[in-house]
Structure 1
Amino acid sequence: MKGQEWYQADDVAEEYDDKRFSKGGQLIDRREKQAVLEAIMPVEDRTILEIACGTGRFTVMLAEQGADVVGLDISAAMLHQGRAKAQRAELAGTLEFLRGDAGRLPFPDDHFDTVIAMRFFHLADDPEAFLREMRRVASEQVVFDTFNRFSSRSIYNWALPMGSRLYSKGEVSTLLAKTNLTLVDVEDDFLLPYGLYRAIPNGLASSLRSIDSALGGHPITDHAASVSYWNTRLR
């Protein structure tokens, strides 16, 4: 995993949500959660694994919706933040946090209905092996996101501390074929980069988001979207 040492630092975990999902970043948080819920619905009573769960944004949300969720992450500091978040929430389902490696998942084949990985695919050293491992422990569905090569994110991607990877639609489609996953749906979003939203107040970000949404959603502009949300099923 790229940026592993940076990611596991205590100060990074403590500031992770505030730096990324405050101010205009709240719009990103809501959109990502919407994408996950739309892909998985109905959530209640499903068994779900989230890989690289971080501070538990998605794991807690899914448990609140009645799912039985396991959140796995390599960072003890991130898991500490997730457990604290879970303690403050009223959960309808169950939630367990485990420390582990996304490349060697400690679960048997077909163990979960759904496996998700958000904000991680761009850090995987071997994306095909990572996707195969997700598929191995899923019995029905694999959901993930990618940051796109032909987008505004490429402008500042070189400056990120973990050296993340951008993907074209064709590359991801090839990976799906190699791992025997069938594409159900892919949604493209955010013509403007995430970093811009996080840097400005929520009010201004909301205005930009309205313009962004109006311009997006078309075949031409979709190619310039920063992120894609992939919903796939096992063949």
Structure 2
Amino acid sequence: MRKMPGDEFDSLVSFFDDMARTKWLGSIHNRLKQATGSWEGKSVLDVGCGTGRLLLRGVEEAGHLTGIDLSKEMLKASKQNFFFINRSEKATFMQADACEIPFEKGKFDLSLSTCVLFLLPEPEIAMKEMIRVTKEGGQLAMLNPSVRMDQAKAFAYAKDKGIRGFEQTSLLKWANVSTRRHRYSPDQLSDLLRSNGAVSTEHIEVLDGLAIITVANL
């Protein structure tokens, strides 16, 4: 199994934190949160949590939030973001590999991952791990670029929506990386998830179909 070095992301903390707060990605995070329903009392895991911005959306609801990331600097930023709103006690952050999640089977009610799996050398292994650590009857939710995503289409989308400056730059970088890593169709994602234990899957197109939110019921 090929692994990614976490320190290559240490210098990108500001970029990823700013990207998580863009209107385009922020609205996707909101849509994903809405698609997973209430987090009231739930144990929630974010795989590749970055600076913790997605988990912050459920901090007042969830029983406890857990974020894992390869980058120590990302984890420091996550802890700071929770400290700033006086919610440090609601979250645990730890350095860990998405392909070797260090928790027992069925620990979490909900497992999330956005802007991460498609970067991995073998994203299917991480999907299996997310399913493993999620309870029967729980949910898994992720964001991935679709097979339609490329830099030209992302640029056309940005132009059509009036997206400029850093908002546009971050979207185009995301698109560029996705064409060199992994992109998926809804059917491919359903097949992968169902073959590893998902009972049902739902797909929500975002960015006019350039990316896909997938929610799987286990």
Q: What band does the TM-score fall into relative to the shorter chain?
A: 0.7 to 0.9
* Cα pair 1:48 1:114 within 8 Å, conserved: yes
Q: 1:15 to 1:46 in 2, by over 3 A?
A: same
Q: 2:121 aligns with which of 105, 122, 125?
A: 125
Contact 1:122 1:147 in 2 (8 A): yes
Q: Choose from 18, 25, 28 the match for 1:28.
A: 25
- 1-side partners of 2:68 and 2:6: how far apart? 18
Q: Do the aligned partners of residues 46 and 69 (structure 1) sit closer, same or farther apart at CA in structure 2, a change above 3 Å counting?
A: same
CA RMSD of aligned residues (A): 2.8
- Residues paired across the two proteins, number: 197
* TM-score of the aligned structures, taking structure 1 as reference length: 0.74
* Greater length-normalized contact order (CA 8 Å, ≥ 6 residues apart): 1
Please tell me whether the aligned partners of residues 150 and 175 of structure 2 are also in contact (alpha carbons under 8 angstroms): no
Residue 34 of structure 1: how far off its partner (Å) = 1.7
1:96 positional shift: 0.8
User: Displacement of 1:40 after TM fit?
Assistant: 2.4
* Structure 1 SS opposite 2:181: coil
Q: Which runs of 5+ in 2 are unaligned?
A: 154-171
Q: Give the C-alpha shift of residue 14 in structure 1.
A: 2.8
Q: How does 1:65-214 map to 2 (within 5 A)?
A: 65-91=61-87, 94-139=90-135, 140-153=138-151, 159-160=176-177, 163-191=180-208
SS of residue matched to 2:94: strand
In the TM superposition, what is the alpha-carbon distance from 1:61 to its structure 2 partner? 2.2
Aligned equivalents of 1:49, 1:190: Cα separation in 2: 25
In the other structure, the counterpart of 1:16 is 16
Stretches of structure 1 that go unaligned for 5 or more consecutive residues are 192-224
**What amino acid sits opposite 2:39 in the alignment?**
V
